[in-house]
Structure 1
Amino acid sequence: MNTIDFNRHLITNQNALESFAFKFTHDYEDANDLVQDTMLKAMRYSQKFKEGTNFKGWLYTIMKNTFINGYRRTIKTRSLMSTHEEIPTAQFINGATRNSGENKFMMEDINNAMNKLQPEYLTPFIKYFEGFKYHEIAEELNIPIGTVKTRIHMARGLLKKNLKMYTKEFSAESY
């Protein structure tokens, strides 16, 4: 398909993309941004479109993946950034009184607990912690989704067991 035909197909499907984007974002401006990102990616990767396949489906797939990647990026950014309104006052006191030596020991304990996990538990747990969904982990590791859920559950239990000294410490400090 030449560039002119490709662009014509792209413009023809723009309204359908806008409707589809709104279902994801529930906001017109965000939907327009998503459509724009999708169209730019489609033009950038136009050579990857296989002529004779479903063009609209190809565009929808690009949009869905763009939305999911943007959502993951937003979640990671929000989890890293906090404002003072989101942190309880008790957390300020604990953070101010703790020294970096205590934090270093805590991190060492966490790393030791993680290193004690068998790879079949650690790998799915880390993927889940990074924001991957159960089905994505199952596909990547080529194991059933139930096995992924079980391994993540087991990893959590083992980590709780190996780090239980901190649960007692933090629950005692909250008083």
Structure 2
Amino acid sequence: MTATIQQQKDIQELLSTITNSLRAFSLKLTGNMNDAEDLYQDTALRIMTNAEKYNPGTNFKAWAVTIMRNIFINNYRKKVRRNLIIDQTPNNYYINSGNKTVVNDGESEVTFNELQELVDRLPDDFRVPFLMAYQGYKYDEIAEQLGSPLGTIKSRIFFARKKLQKMYEEAMRERMVASVAS
């Protein structure tokens, strides 16, 4: 079934009223302006090509956001599948490959103490549950010990990880600037 010209015009008009919301949502999903713009364009195209599937009088924004979310999820799943590489190399190769040494300069890049400093800079509400999870406690055990709801503990650990990622990236950027300057 193909949409009539009037349906196409109606959909274009509705789409123009929610463009800013869709762009903001796409940025929230992707966290990147270029990917967000691609997601918005894919969504707009899908909306226009499926205009006949929209039921007039229903919530157009919800319909459009659902389409965007589904496109994002499908793209994410494709990306994960593409990056999934199964190593079928026999382990004997590595054992019998001679006396080749592999240089690991990870220790010189970031020391454990530097990472510990980043963790120590987290607010107590985030640091304590994060460290307990790091030590192997289960979420429900952490919630019970701290007297907090399970959902609160999960979100605090999640946000602690996100904050640590940002702090780590900033520290690496500062390190790169310092190494370039010297």
TM bin (shorter chain) = 0.3 to 0.5
* TM-score of the pair, normalised by structure 1: 0.47
Structure label with greater radius of gyration: 2
* TM-score of the pair, normalised by structure 2: 0.45
